[in-house]
């Protein structure tokens, strides 16, 4: 019992130290410039990473028919944005790059963002395999296309890009919405 209390005390001290030190929850990516890209979103708008310079950006990779991880990622992003509050959430861009160019289209992407209550906050970015493949490669996202009977397999990751357009953090899946919200607050204050 004393050992358990000691472990809890050490963990609490570490968490307090990390919070005071300003450390982010995920893997530190330094300040490497984020690979640029430009695609069309679910509304038919041209969207580029560069247009969000001056605000933090969440970049993730999803597909609309995903039965498991993608909906969870979207829901955690929504909860984190809600936790930030309307004013701060409006200062964060959320970009989801499709990993299923065969089945993802403007209608399915719009429905995905609606179902996850992100229609006004997430740009779900679409393109052909030749449009998307270089972006997957630049962000080290492995994608194995599915067929009509199997799911698309892809790396699950959430990248945080700072106001200057630099990669700052990689959150693996699963991650907590509270960690994402906390890290976005740090980027908003910079």
Q: How many CB atoms lie within 10 A of CB 1?
A: 5
Q: What confidence tens digit (pLDDT) does each residue in 53-108 have? A: 999 999 999 999 988 899 999 999 999 999 999 999 999 999 999 999 999 999 99
What is the pTM for the complete model shown? 0.85
CB atoms within 10 A of CB 60: 23
Confidence class of residue 11 from pLDDT cuts 50, 70 and 90?
A: very low
- pLDDT averaged over the chain? 88
Between the CA atoms of 29, 30, 36 and 39, what dihedral angle is there, to the nearest 10 degrees? 40
Q: What is the DSSP letter of 52?
A: G
Task: List pLDDT tens digits, range 23-50.
Answer: 888 999 999 999 999 999 999 999 999 9
**Minimal CA–CA distance to 162: which of 19, 52, 69?**
52
Please give the Cα distance from 149 to 167 (Å, whole number): 36
Q: How far apart are alpha carbons 61 and 173 in whole angstroms?
A: 12
DSSP SS3 for 74: helix
Q: What is the CA radius of gyration of the chain?
A: 17
Please name the residue that has the structure tokens 């209390």.
5
pLDDT digits (tens, 9 = 90+) for 94-107: 999 999 999 999 99
Domain boundaries, the chain: 27-189
**DSSP secondary structure of 84-132:** H-HHHHTT-EEEEEES-TTT--HHHHHHHHHHTT-TTTEEEEB--HHHH
Q: What is the CATH number of domain 27-189?
A: 3.40.30.10
């Amino acid at each position: 019992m004393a050992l358990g209390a000691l472990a809890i005390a050490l963990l609490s001290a570490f968490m307090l130290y990390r919070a005071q030190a300003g450390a982010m929850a995920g893997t530190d990516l330094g300040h490497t410039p984020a690979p640029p890209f430009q695609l069309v979103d679910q509304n038919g708008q041209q969207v580029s990473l560069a247009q969000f310079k001056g605000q933090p950006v969440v970049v993730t990779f999803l597909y609309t028919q995903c039965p498991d991880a993608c909906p969870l990622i979207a829901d955690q992003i929504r909860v984190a944005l809600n936790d930030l509050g309307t004013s701060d959430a409006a200062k964060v861009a959320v970009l989801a790059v499709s990993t299923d160019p065969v089945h993802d289209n403007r209608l399915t992407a719009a429905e995905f963002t609606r179902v996850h209550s992100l229609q006004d906050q997430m740009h779900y970015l679409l393109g052909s395999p030749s449009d998307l493949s270089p972006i997957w490669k630049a962000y080290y996202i492995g994608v194995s296309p599915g067929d009509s009977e199997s799911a698309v397999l892809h790396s699950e990751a959430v990248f945080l890009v700072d106001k200057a357009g630099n990669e700052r953090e990689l959150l693996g899946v699963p991650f907590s919405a509270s960690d994402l919200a906390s890290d976005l607050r740090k980027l908003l204050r910079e």
